[in-house]
């Protein structure tokens, strides 16, 4: 699993931005899910849903602020108890001692791209020299080669930090990506006239909300020279902290490649129009974001190669996914959080020799909520009755009869960074109904087939009146089915106020 890896940046889904030949191998040898999505598009809550098999309102990890309830039973604990050897390497994002793992080496919090620290089961907190993606891959391969017990089945979580903000590629990818120009999304200059307040009032715009230093890599002194203010209070600190972790050789390599870009920017910036600034920022974003994915794809290739060389690939299920989707300039945005497609949908590629037919696709409404049940059923372990997902194994063999035709979504972290309002919704293959609440009371409906870019809210269109009526009933029923309610909404709002003091 990677962090914030947009499905648009995997060539098995769309090859206009980037080629990912190794991740694509999983789809070539297995199944590509085209409607995979998340229950709550934000990092730590998504991971909690995956581990617990429960929606955020039941597992309690509704946002990145609330702690994970460690009394929750997670599927790795059940695998371990049933005789599986278990290991986790990379980014968990919450908790320092994950339950159910015989071995782990995890990044504290968000982690760092260069010379990162790790929290380890056996050696405490250690710093490792190098590039984080390569280190996580090396740890994973070392465990497979030297610590895996051949007499036991195994479960391994190989979890990348990349391509999470603030994006820093490996040295070997500087030249290629800094010299590339990427196609712009058709909605880059969306004015949100077809949507409601939630879209208009969010703070995710590439031009106005992305950090100049931390994200676009304009040095703080150059910002001062050009009179560019910080976008966020941590803007310059992010630049200094992330690049400050580099040793002298790493920093020299970085300066050598990025200095020409910075010098060119200094010349151009004073005469740039707002449109030109937006276009420039989009290219800068893509260069670093996609450059960081290149190393992930290489690492996935190394792991797949070892599985094949060792013969393990013949009896190992391999899953590639992300904790959610991400905006790559669509609607002028970066980040995630919304129920809209680029955030809500997530990559999901699965191969399982002799079970999944190579090169197949599935369009069902599957969610990260389903992973726990799927892994447990594959291992022959009965899932706890309070897990809420559905096993994907029938879909692996082409049996779609009786599988759900719609999913539930709920986002909570507001008011907070990016200011995406609280909302919940019902989504099927044809429509998406969302209710934005807390400081507003607005509804949105999108026709997913006629309006794939979700540009026009048709909730108030008389032609959709019967559809609205029907979907609101289904949404109410779905909330009850998953044990969500207005009372829980109110409880979590009050708890959030108590913890964050945003109301003060």
pLDDT digits (tens, 9 = 90+) for 295-343: 999 999 999 999 999 999 999 999 999 999 999 999 999 999 999 999 9
The pairing of beta strand 117-120 with beta strand 318-321: unpaired
Q: Which CATH number fits domain 410-500: 3.30.1120.10, 1.10.10.10, 3.30.420.40, 3.40.50.300?
A: 3.30.1120.10
Closest to 119 (Cα-Cα) out of 105, 102, 135: 105
pLDDT at 232 exceeding the cut of 70: yes
408: enclosing H helix or E strand? strand 406-411
pLDDT digits (tens, 9 = 90+) for 281-294: 999 999 999 999 99
Q: Are 329 and 395 in contact (CB under 8 A)?
A: no
Structure tokens at 328: 């790559």
The whole-number pLDDT of residue 66 equals 86
Residue spans per domain, the chain: 171-284, 410-500
Is residue 125 exposed (0-12), middle (13-18) or buried (19+ Cβ within 10 Å)? exposed
pLDDT at 213 exceeding the cut of 60: yes
Q: Are 108 and 176 in contact (CB under 8 A)?
A: no
The whole-number pLDDT of residue 95 equals 83
SS3 499: helix
pLDDT at 456 exceeding the cut of 90: yes
Residues near 467 by Cβ (< 8 Å), separated by ≥ 6? 431, 445
Residues near 161 by Cβ (< 8 Å), separated by ≥ 6? 3, 90, 91, 107, 110, 111, 112, 113, 116, 132, 133, 136
DSSP bridge partners of 192? none
The most distant pair of C-alpha atoms in the chain lies apart, rounded to whole Å, by 67
DSSP bridge partners of 426? 408, 433
SS3 18: coil
Name the percent of the chain in helix, strand, coil, to the closest 5. 40, 15, 45
Separation between Cα atoms, residue 128 and residue 169, nearest integer Å: 17
Separation between Cα atoms, residue 304 and residue 14, nearest integer Å: 22
Separation between Cα atoms, residue 345 and residue 39, nearest integer Å: 10
Residues of the chain with pLDDT > 90, as a percent, come to 96
State how far the alpha carbon of 360 is from the alpha carbons of 11, 14, 333, 356, in Å. Answer: 15, 16, 32, 8
SS3 145: helix
Q: Quick one: average pLDDT of 139-160?
A: 98
The whole-number pLDDT of residue 500 equals 81
Prior bond of 370 cis (ω within 30°):
no
pLDDT digits (tens, 9 = 90+) for 65-79: 888 898 999 999 999
pLDDT digits (tens, 9 = 90+) for 111-124: 999 999 999 999 99
Separation between Cα atoms, residue 108 and residue 423, nearest integer Å: 29
State how far the alpha carbon of 309 is from the alpha carbons of 84, 145, 303, 306, 313, in Å. Answer: 22, 11, 10, 5, 8
CA dihedral (486, 342, 401, 477) in degrees, to 10, reads 10
The whole-number pLDDT of residue 502 equals 62
**Does the reported pTM lie above 0.95?**
yes
List the end-to-end C-alpha distance of the chain, in Å, as a whole number. Answer: 37
443: enclosing H helix or E strand? strand 442-447
- The phi, psi pair for 312, rounded to 5°, reads -65, -25
pLDDT digits (tens, 9 = 90+) for 367-412: 999 999 999 999 999 999 999 999 999 999 999 999 999 999 999 9
Q: Quick one: average pLDDT of 49-64?
A: 96
pLDDT at 229 exceeding the cut of 60: yes
The whole-number pLDDT of residue 503 equals 55
The whole-number pLDDT of residue 122 equals 93
Average pLDDT, the chain: 97
pLDDT at 504 exceeding the cut of 60: no
154: enclosing H helix or E strand? strand 154-159
pLDDT digits (tens, 9 = 90+) for 423-455: 999 999 999 999 999 999 999 999 999 999 999
Closest to 22 (Cα-Cα) out of 346, 326, 356, 318: 318
């Amino acid at each position: 699993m990677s962090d914030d890896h947009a499905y648009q940046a995997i060539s098995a889904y769309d090859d206009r931005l980037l080629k990912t030949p190794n991740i694509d191998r999983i789809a070539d040898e297995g199944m590509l899910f085209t409607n995979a999505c998340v229950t709550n598009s934000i990092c730590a809550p998504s991971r909690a849903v995956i581990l617990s098999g429960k929606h955020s309102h039941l597992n309690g990890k509704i946002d990145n602020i609330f702690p994970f309830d460690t009394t929750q039973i997670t599927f790795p604990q059940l695998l371990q108890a049933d005789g599986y050897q278990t290991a986790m390497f990379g980014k968990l994002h919450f908790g320092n001692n994950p339950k159910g793992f015989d071995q782990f080496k995890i990044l504290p919090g968000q982690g760092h791209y260069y010379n990162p620290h790790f929290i380890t089961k056996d050696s405490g907190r250690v710093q490792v020299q190098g590039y984080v993606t390569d280190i996580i891959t090396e740890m994973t391969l070392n465990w497979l080669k030297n610590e895996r017990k051949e007499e036991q089945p195994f479960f391994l979580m190989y979890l990348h930090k990349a391509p999470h903000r603030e994006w820093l590629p490996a040295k070997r990818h500087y030249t290629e990506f800094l010299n590339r120009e990427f196609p712009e999304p058709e909605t880059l200059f969306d004015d949100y006239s077809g949507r409601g307040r939630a879209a208009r009032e969010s703070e995710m715009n590439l031009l106005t909300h992305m950090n100049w230093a931390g994200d676009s890599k304009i040095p703080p002194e150059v910002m001062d020279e050009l009179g560019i203010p910080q976008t966020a209070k941590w803007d310059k600190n992010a630049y200094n902290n992330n690049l400050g972790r580099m040793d002298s050789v790493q920093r020299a390599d970085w300066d050598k490649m990025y200095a020409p870009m910075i010098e060119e920017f200094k010349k151009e910036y004073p005469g740039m129009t707002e449109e030109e600034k937006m276009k420039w920022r989009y290219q800068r974003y893509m260069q670093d974001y996609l450059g960081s994915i290149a190393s992930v794809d290489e690492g996935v290739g190394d792991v797949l190669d070892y599985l094949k060389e060792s013969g393990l690939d013949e009896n190992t299920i391999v899953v590639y996914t992300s904790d959610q989707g991400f905006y790559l300039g669509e609607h002028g945005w970066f980040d995630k959080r919304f129920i809209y497609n680029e955030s809500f949908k997530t990559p999901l590629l699965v191969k399982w020799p002799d079970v999944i037919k190579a090169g197949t696709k599935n369009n069902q409404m599957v969610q990260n909520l389903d992973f726990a049940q799927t892994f447990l059923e594959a291992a022959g372990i009965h899932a706890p009755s309070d897990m809420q997902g559905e096993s994907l194994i029938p879909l692996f063999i082409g049996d779609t009869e009786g599988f759900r035709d719609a999913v539930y979504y709920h986002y909570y972290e507001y008011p907070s960074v990016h200011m995406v309002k609280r909302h919940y919704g019902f989504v099927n293959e044809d429509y998406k109904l969302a209710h934005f609440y807390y400081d507003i009371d607005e509804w949105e409906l999108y026709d997913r087939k006629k309006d794939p870019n979700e540009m026009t809210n048709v909730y108030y269109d008389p032609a959709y009146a019967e559809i609205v009526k029907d979907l609101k009933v289904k949404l109410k029923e779905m909330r009850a089915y998953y044990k969500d309610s207005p009372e829980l909404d109110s409880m979590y709002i009050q708890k959030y106020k108590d913890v964050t003091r945003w109301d003060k």
